[in-house]
């Protein structure tokens, strides 16, 4: 068996950002299990790079971890929304910038053990400033950093957002040099 066989599925919670579902399945290999899954419509992550090489990050309070975090621009893909449209929308909402070019860098699952969320990471270049349009519950600060400064933050453990670390290290390893 190469696919799981779904025996039953029940939604336990419906929310504005995610749902929680309980599935009873027979997984490949024959193991019958119950899995609770956080279902999510997916998200986009943007790595905005200026002509001088500096990278734009946002800082905001993340209640789930009880602290402010520096991270790349990111946001949920609305149901039915094309990912590129979501990427352009999130960049504008959170920073005020628009990008002439978006290039997909990564397609990843941040927490595949119990969350269905898929993240699409885009390199954003040809940036033009504008007016940010954050959502009502967002208080966002922006900052421009060199790649070297961000790599130091990663090494020191002061940049702790996983999606940002993955995207920045990918960029540093395969594109920046």
Residues in the chain: 177
Q: Do 31 and 46 form a contact (C-beta atoms < 8 A)?
A: no
| DSSP element (H, E) containing 141 | strand 141-145
Q: Do the beta carbons of residue 163 and residue 58 sit within 8 Å? A: no
Q: How far is Cα 41 from Cα 61, in angstroms, rounded to an integer?
A: 22
Residue tagged active-site, from 27, 90, 117, 138: 138
Contacts 24+ apart (CB under 8 A), 77-83: 77/41, 77/42, 77/43, 77/44, 77/120, 78/41, 79/41, 83/42, 83/44, 83/120
Q: What does the alpha-carbon distance between residue 29 and residue 3 come to, in Å, rounded to a whole number?
A: 9
138 catalytic? Reply is yes
Which residue in 122, 170, 172, 166 sits closest to 145, CA to CA? 172
Which residues participate in catalysis according to the annotation?
Answer: 138
């Amino acid at each position: 068996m190469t696919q799981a066989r779904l025996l039953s599925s029940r939604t336990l919670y419906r929310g504005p950002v995610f749902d929680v579902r309980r599935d009873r399945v027979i997984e490949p290999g024959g193991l019958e299990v119950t899995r609770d899954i956080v279902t999510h419509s997916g998200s986009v992550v943007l790595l905005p790079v200026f002509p001088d090489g500096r990278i734009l990050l946002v800082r905001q309070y993340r209640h789930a971890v009880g602290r402010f975090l520096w991270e790349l621009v990111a946001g949920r893909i609305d149901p039915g929304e094309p990912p590129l449209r979501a990427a352009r929308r999130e960049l504008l909402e959170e920073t005020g910038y628009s990008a002439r070019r978006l290039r997909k860098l990564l397609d990843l699952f941040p927490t595949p053990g119990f969350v269905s969320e898929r993240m699409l990471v885009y390199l954003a270049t040809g940036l033009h400033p504008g007016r940010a349009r954050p959502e009502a519950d967002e208080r966002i600060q922006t900052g421009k950093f060199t790649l070297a400064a961000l790599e130091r933050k990663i090494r020191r453990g002061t940049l702790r957002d996983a999606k940002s670390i993955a995207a920045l290290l990918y960029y540093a390893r395969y594109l920046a040099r």
